[in-house]
Structure 1
Amino acid sequence: MSMSSKSENKITVERKVSTDLGQAFQLQGLGSNLRSIRSKTGAGEVNYINAAKSVNDNQLLAEIGYKQELKRQFSTLQVFGIAFSIMGLLPSIASVMGGGLDGGPASLLWGWFVAGFFLLLVGISMAEHASAIPTAGGLYYWTYYYAPEGYKEIISFIIGCSNSLALTAGVCSINYGLAEEIAAAVTLTKDGNFDATRGKLYGIFAGAVVLMGLCTCIASGGIARLQTLSIVSNVFIIILLFIALPIGTKRNMGGFNNGDFIFGKFENFSDWNNGWQFCLAGFMPAVWTINSFDSCVHQSEEAKDAKKSVPIGIILSIIVCWILGWFIIICLLACINPDIASVLDSKYGFALAQIVYDSLGKKWAIAFMSLIAFCQFLMGASITTAVSRQVWAFSRDNGLPLSKYIKRVDSKYSVPFYAILAACVCSLVLGLLCLIDQAATNALFSLAVAGNNLAWSTPTVLRLTSGKDLFRPGPFYLGKFWSPIVAWVGVAFQVFIIIMVMFPAQQKGITKATMNYTCVIGPGIWILAGIYYKVYKKKYYHGPATNLSDEDYVDAVGVDVIDTIISKQEP
């Protein structure tokens, strides 16, 4: 088959039939039409990324602008598993429960429920993006795609930096929580006679980062199976909690707290007014736990049938963690010592450790903290995988220093080893903030929330405004009526969370130790990223950079698709 052009810039595609090789395509006379077809912004009113009409993952990825370099080993369950693993319900609740109890049981319980609902709306909008354009770069790619002309590169660069740093901060948050859980288990074995200094915690943290990096270096098939192990481990420990904790509470504490205590007792342990404290204490446990569901997006180029499996992974992980987490909190509040202040001041450093100790005794408490630490390790391995894929994708488009090295993929194992190394090194360096003081540690954790919510909300805003004519929905889409309503409500919630996460825990008497430095670090990073782009990086970063040759593109997309597109362009 040949396509004859009207000018020298047209494309001629000649189909040659071989009895041994099947059909092969040879391009002749490549010109501006093929470059227009491969444009990621869509020429004029035409958008050439149409997930709904793509027949396979490689074709859709070629339309997005990239060749397949990683192996597609992740099933829908395993895509769900990477987000579910990072959320790590019981380990995460163990890490954030103390802050949630600063507003009493009712604040923790109902704050989780309300925040979980809005996070589901955020996830639905992200799932629509992922269904339409499933690529490992995700957020910064979508930002570039929908941003107005003249601003695409700088906004995309800022979002790429924000998402990369936020995910790295997430690694630090999870691994620091792991260090605290291990320290709590040691403290339990020594009956409280263990001083978990910042140096010791960082030592555990650094060892965990290195070990997680090694685990992440296995091939995609192994990493996929690791998510299955994480699902099983997290479900097992949750079932164990549901069975053992109530039995122990009934036997050793005489009974459970009543419904008024669980669902209605509000207790303000701060000097903020009750309404604001409900938000600070109630929303943040859910926001910190039901987080990093964009990890599914960063696995898009390793997922089978990504335009369907990635949206399912995002939404299902949020729903499961939202509802199941709510029941876990009910169980914990039913079994907790009603003297909340004594639980918050536990000598073991963890509210959950104190709850299990009171109900089941020392041995059970040690066992639970050990199992929680194991699940936390799997969380860290999963988020290290997600960070490495984001770093790799951003480097593929020349967005990071040393990009020409970081974007390399091992040809034998199809693993981005240099990206994994870069992710681990950045985590170790950023984690040094934990050595300063608790204020620096809290700012680091909050950076993960603020940076991610900025990266998640920006492409949604742009899709609804400047990029509304470019958007072509994939298989998952709520429709023209519900989609923008859900998206705008989700964006409003994200703006609120970005502001809220920058407030200190106390209103009065703010000192160097109690100051929330997120309000400085977060906007500071975004401003510095913009300055860095303007001063230097604009010479190298020009938005998503295709790594497909014209021949690769036609081979992946198919002659019939190109023929159809060109026929639509012709007058």
Structure 2
Amino acid sequence: MSGESPVGEEKHRRASQTAVDSGLANEDDAAMLAKLGYKQELRRNFTMIEVFGIAFSIMGLLPSIASTLAYSIPAGPAGMVWSWFLASMFIFVVGLAMADLGSAMPTSGGLYWWTHYFASPSSRNALSFLVGYSNTLGLVGGLCSIDYGFALMLLSVVVIAKDGEWAPSNGIVYAVFLGCVICHGILASTMSKIMGKLQTAFVVMNFILIFATIIALPIGRASQRNDAEFIFTKMSNLTAWPTGWTFMLAWLSPIWTIGGFDSCVHMSEEAANATKAVPYGILMSIGSCWLFGWIIVIVLAACMSPDLESLTGTKFGQPMAQIYYDAIGKSGAIGLMTLLFIVQFLMGLSILVAVSRQSWAFSRDGALPFSPYIRVISTRLGYIPFRAIWFCVAIAAVLGLLSLIAPAAAQALFSLAVAGNNVAWGTPIFCRIVWGRSKFKPGPVYTGRFSIPLAWTAIVFLVFGTMLSMFPVGGPDPTPSSMNYTIVINGAVWLGALAYYFIDARKWFTGPKITLNMDELSESQERAIVEEGIEVKHEALPEAGTQNVPLAKEVSKA
């Protein structure tokens, strides 16, 4: 906040001193968080590169492309190539709009915090509640879809090894999925002190896989590579939709792949120099995936079999496995698919770290069931939200049961990640440009006069992407096994969250809470609270294993 008196600045310095003395943060980062109303509780051990790393690792470029080839291959090689380029361009616009907000107000619960801050007084609590749940469950859906993809990739290696003469049952797929989720919970709980450093290693692993693929495939298909006309102009249609709409459905591949950039926001309170690390992490991760993803899909279009139906109907269960098999044989396919599912495993670990921070932030503001229990920070394990990690693991294990029903039901996990997060990203951007223009104070990274046009473009694209994710991929008149259950799953999330709010939560959810000591409020905070018609009273939250600090809770006036 600008224009503060020396007394106000002194209060922020006092608010940050405990965090500095404890080695959790430097004074500037702790003071920035204090301006948003929160005391520093997590350790800031992520550099800018490591913040980028966690987002890029979650995106897991090549494994994500492999997991979503069923959406892009039906549009043909040109559909794969140009859908990636165009969709990524619009996703970058969304990233620019979010970077503006992330630089100005970096906090782990950013999306629902921004929504509450910018929305109208009559709608802010309900919208903030909706965004918090949509984002939390959308990220858990992303964890489920990543780990479900891992299970399919791992088992595809077994299928290749058995020459396609064995097929895993839904129960086996779920067992592998569940084991993966539990392993992620254990690693996220015990490796916190080096988790930032691990992100750099994860990025290196991603690039090793990318370069191994874009080198091995052209060599393996040296005498059978497709020409430029096939790659850039050959459109196909393996669906019952018109060719143009099949091309649009191919956008779902980049939309799902480049979907983890909000993890930079959720790591805000663990990032050093957060006002720059968060926006640059967002833009660097999207930009890297835009460029390298385009290179990958061009290489795949050049090296894949022209018989597209042989890829979508492969006995290996994964089109990517068939592409590897055709190019470099059984042993090479097993080797690269093994590397592929290892990188997919790392993706799951990174997204669990991010969703646990969002869940922790949401419980810190009292919005989740059992919030006083979930929001406890484990100092013994390195100032991490240990209980929030296992809360997310439990939710993922339950949602993963959909995979026991049918593949179509399992695809709902994919749609939960896309549609749920689109709503969570678009709502604060919308609130900012409709109700909150006068309240927005730019941070160090800002798009200037282009900010509002970029924000409107982002909103239109996110609405379109949400609608796109609800269409049956194969065509109109789907059967129960080919139906897209996005509207069912996300409708349950959105309507359930709103019903929960209006039936019960409206009585006690007042938006983000102030967790600073009363005497640590700056003059600008006190002035803003008065202007919003909010009074402040002491409240102490009991936290097992942490120090009890008198807190200030925002309470709307009657």
TM-score, structure 2 normalization = 0.89
Shift of 1:196: 1.4
Tell me, yes or no, if the aligned pair for 1:72 and 1:220 is still in contact at 8 Å. no
Aligned to 1:439: 408
Tell me, yes or no, if the aligned pair for 1:220 and 1:302 is still in contact at 8 Å. no
Tell me if 1:197 matches 2:169. yes
Counterparts of 1:395 and 1:563, CA distance in 2: 24
How far does the alpha carbon of each residue in 1:153-210 deviate from its partner, in whole angstroms, 9 at most, with x for none? 1110011000000000000000000000001011111111221111101000000000
Counterparts of 2:135 and 2:528, CA distance in 1: 34
Shift of 1:509: 3.4
Counterparts of 2:493 and 2:439, CA distance in 1: 30
Aligned to 1:360: 328
Tell me if 1:429 matches 2:398. yes
Aligned to 1:50: none
Tell me, yes or no, if the aligned pair for 1:73 and 1:220 is still in contact at 8 Å. no
The amino acid of 2:139's aligned partner reads L
Tell me, yes or no, if the aligned pair for 1:130 and 1:138 is still in contact at 8 Å. yes
Shift of 1:55: 7.1
Counterparts of 2:87 and 2:341, CA distance in 1: 26
Tell me if 1:130 matches 2:107. no
Tell me if 1:418 matches 2:390. no
Aligned to 2:81: 109
How far does the alpha carbon of each residue in 1:380-406 deviate from its partner, in whole angstroms, 9 at most, with x for none? 000000110000000000010000000
Tell me if 1:206 matches 2:178. yes
Aligned match of 2:374 in 382, 391, 406? 406
For 1:361, what is the secondary structure of its paired residue?
A: helix
**C-alpha spacing 1:68/1:268, structure 2 compared with 1 (3 Å):** same
Which residues in structure 2 correspond to 1:155-554 (within 5 Å)?
155-218=127-190, 220-250=192-222, 254-280=223-249, 282-412=250-380, 413-479=382-448, 481-551=449-519, 553=520
Shift of 1:523: 2.5
Tell me, yes or no, if the aligned pair for 2:35 and 2:525 is still in contact at 8 Å. no
The amino acid of 2:460's aligned partner reads A
Shift of 1:411: 2.4
How far does the alpha carbon of each residue in 1:327-384 deviate from its partner, in whole angstroms, 9 at most, with x for none? 0111111111111111111111111111111111111100001000110010000000
How far does the alpha carbon of each residue in 1:295-325 deviate from its partner, in whole angstroms, 9 at most, with x for none? 0100000000001001000000000001100
Tell me, yes or no, if the aligned pair for 2:237 and 2:243 is still in contact at 8 Å. yes
Aligned to 1:28: none
For 1:115, what is the secondary structure of its paired residue?
A: helix
The amino acid of 2:175's aligned partner reads G
Shift of 1:508: 3.6
Which residues in structure 2 correspond to 1:28-43 (within 5 Å)?
none
Aligned to 2:58: 86
Which residues in structure 2 correspond to 1:47-66 (within 5 Å)?
56-66=28-38
Tell me, yes or no, if the aligned pair for 2:252 and 2:468 is still in contact at 8 Å. no
When the two chains are superposed, the root-mean-square deviation of aligned CA atoms in Å is: 2.3
How far does the alpha carbon of each residue in 1:479-509 deviate from its partner, in whole angstroms, 9 at most, with x for none? 1x21111110111011011111111123343
The amino acid of 1:86's aligned partner reads I
Counterparts of 2:224 and 2:72, CA distance in 1: 23
Aligned to 1:19: none
Counterparts of 2:231 and 2:190, CA distance in 1: 44
Counterparts of 1:64 and 1:419, CA distance in 2: 22
Counterparts of 2:8 and 2:477, CA distance in 1: 73
Counterparts of 2:435 and 2:88, CA distance in 1: 29
For 1:457, what is the secondary structure of its paired residue?
A: helix
Shift of 1:238: 0.9
The amino acid of 2:442's aligned partner reads P
Shift of 1:99: 1.9
* Runs of at least 4 residues off by over 4 Å: 11-16, 561-566
How far does the alpha carbon of each residue in 1:227-277 deviate from its partner, in whole angstroms, 9 at most, with x for none? 111001001111111222211111xxx231001111111110111111111
Counterparts of 1:307 and 1:505, CA distance in 2: 40
For 1:56, what is the secondary structure of its paired residue?
A: helix
Tell me, yes or no, if the aligned pair for 1:166 and 1:447 is still in contact at 8 Å. yes
The amino acid of 2:201's aligned partner reads L
For 1:346, what is the secondary structure of its paired residue?
A: coil
Aligned pair count reads 513
Counterparts of 2:420 and 2:432, CA distance in 1: 19
TM-score, structure 1 normalization = 0.87
**C-alpha spacing 1:460/1:13, structure 2 compared with 1 (3 Å):** closer
Shift of 1:463: 0.3
The amino acid of 1:57's aligned partner reads D
Q: Which runs of 5+ in 2 are unaligned?
A: 1-5, 16-25, 530-558
Counting aligned pairs with the same residue, the percent is 45
Counterparts of 1:136 and 1:511, CA distance in 2: 41
Q: Which has the larger radius of gyration?
A: 1
Tell me, yes or no, if the aligned pair for 2:80 and 2:301 is still in contact at 8 Å. no
Counterparts of 1:442 and 1:563, CA distance in 2: 48
Tell me, yes or no, if the aligned pair for 1:115 and 1:286 is still in contact at 8 Å. yes
Counterparts of 1:365 and 1:14, CA distance in 2: 60
The amino acid of 1:543's aligned partner reads G
Counterparts of 1:562 and 1:188, CA distance in 2: 61
**C-alpha spacing 1:416/1:468, structure 2 compared with 1 (3 Å):** same
